[in-house]
Amino acid sequence: MPDFSLTPEQESLRDLARKFARTEMAPHAAECDKAGRFPEEIYRRGWELGLMNLNVPTEYGGSGLSVMDQCLIVEELAQGCGGMTTSIIANCLALEPIILGGTAEQRAQWLTPFCAEYHLASFCLTEPGGGSDAGALKTRARKEGDHYVLDGEKCFITNAPHASLYTVFATIDPQLGHKGITAFIVPRDTPGVAPGKDEDKMGHRASSTSTVHFEGVRVPVANRLGAEGEGFLMAMRTLDQTRTPIGALATGIGQAALDHAAKYALGRRSFGKPIAEHQAIQIKLANMVQSIRAARLLTWQAAVTIDRGERGSLESAIAKCYASDAAMHVADDAIQIFGGYGYMKEYPVEKLLRDAKLTQIYEGANEIQRIVISKELLRAYA
C-alpha cells in the first residue's frame, strides 16, 4: 500500500477461494438458503482446502495468514454465499482469543486439533440482555477450588449447535463491570453445556445460530484465558482482528449483487434495447461500483494497518461500517434493476439483501462502529 497490487501469492490464494466459492458454494447457496440447511459437507471441504482456520499460526497447523490475505479470501467466499462464509470464518473468531491470550500450552492443546481435523468452535460473548453493551454481561463464573462454575446464557452464537468448543466470556463479579470479565475455553461435552435450537433467520440461512446455556458448567482453571478480568480487553482485541474481514464479507456480497445486476442489465430488454443502455440503469450501476470499490479499499487499508502491528480500531470500524452499508444499498439497487424479478426468490438478488443486512448488525452493530469512529475523530480535535 498504496500500490494496491497483489503479490502472486495473494493472487493464488484469491484464486483458490474464488474457485471454491464458484464450484462448491454458489451451486448450493439457493437451496441452503431456502431450506435453512447447514451444509456441513461444504464446510468440511473448505476445511480440507485450508480455508477455515486462516488466522491460526502455522506452528499449530494453521495458515497464519495476515488480515489482508484473510480479507482477499473472505471477499471471494462471500460471493459464493454470505451465510456459508460466516460459518466458515466463525472458527477464526472463536479461536482468536486463544491465539491472542492463550499460553503456549493452551494454544498447542486447543488450536492444534482444529487444524488436524474438521471441528467447529463458537465465540460466546453476546447475551439476550445485551449485545453491544458487552461490559454488562451476566453469565457468571464462580471459582470453586481448581474449577470455575459457569452459569448463564449466550445468544446469536454462530455455529453453536455444531461446535465442539466454545470460547466463553463470563464475569467473576458483575459489580466489577468490564474489569470482571474473564475468558474461558469450554468444550461442548462439558456437563451443563446446552446449545439451543437453530434460529430461523432472515438471511445467512446456510449458517447456524443458536443460544447456548451454561448451567453449573465446571471448567478447570487451566481453561481460563489470561488472568481474571482480562476477558473484556481480549474480546475487544479479538473483534479488532476479525472486524475487518467482515468488511471483506460485505464487499463480497456487494460485488455479487453488482455482477448479477450488470449481467441482467445487458440481457434484459425494455423499450427496444437492453436496459443497460438506459441512463437510469447506468447511473445506478456506476454508483454501485463506486461503493464497492470504496468498501474494498477501506477494508484493505484497515487490514494493512492491523498487519503493520497497529490496533486499527478506527480503520476497521470504518471498513466494517462502510462496507456493510454499501452491501445493503448495492443489493437494494440490484433488486431494483431486476425489477419484479428481483423480488422473486427464483432470482439470486433478494437473498443478497437479506444476507447483507446481517453485516450491519453482527460483530458490533454499525451504531457502535460509528460511536468508535466519532470518538477517535473527536479525540484528534480535543
Binding residues vs other proteins (CB under 8 A): 8-9, 12-13, 15-16, 19-20, 27, 48-51, 54, 58, 63, 263-264, 266-269
Nearest to 125 by CA among 57, 198, 178, 86: 178
Q: What phi and psi values does residue 82 have, to the nearest 5 degrees?
A: -65, -40
31/367 with CB nearer other proteins: 31
The residue among 77 and 137 lying less far from other proteins, judged by its C-beta, is 77
Active site residue 363: yes
Nearest to other proteins of 204, 296 (CB atom): 296
Helix axis angle for 349-359 and 82-101, nearest 10°, is 20
Q: How near is the Cβ of 129 to other proteins at its closest, in Å?
A: 39
Residue 80: partners with Cβ closer than 8 Å, 6 or more residues away: 20, 21, 22, 24, 25, 26, 29
Q: How many CB atoms lie within 10 A of CB 3?
A: 5
H, E, C per residue of 156-199: EEECHHHCCEEEEEEECCHHHHHHHEEEEEEECCCCCEEECCCC
Give the residue with the Cβ less far from other proteins, 34 or 142. Answer: 34
> Distance (Å, rounded) from C-alpha 183 to C-alpha 185?
7
Instruction: Give the span between the Cα atoms of 216 and 192, in whole angstroms.
Output: 6
Q: How far apart, in whole angstroms, are the C-alpha atoms of residue 78 and residue 37?
A: 17
27 vs 177, which CB is nearer to other proteins? 27
Strand 121-124 relative to strand 165-171, pairing: parallel
The vertex-123 CA angle with 356 and 302, nearest 5°, equals: 55
Per the CB < 8 A criterion, the answer to whether 363 and 242 are in contact is: yes
Indicate which residue of 75, 199, 228, 363 is catalytic. Answer: 363
Complex with other proteins: residue 53 or 324, whichever CB lies closer: 53
> Residues of 29-62 as b/e, b for ≥16 C-beta within 10 angstroms?
bbebbeebebbeebbebbbeebbbbbbbeeebbb
The least distance separating other proteins from the CB of residue 345, rounded to whole angstroms, comes to 14
Q: Which is nearer to other proteins, 19 or 345 (CB)?
A: 19
DSSP-derived secondary structure letter, 23: I
Rounded distance, CA 178 to CA 293, Å? 37
What is the C-alpha R_g of the chain?
Answer: 21
Contact predicate 192/215, CB 8 Å: yes
Residue whose cell numbers read 443502455: 277
CB of 256 to other proteins, least distance (A): 15
Catalytic site positions: 363
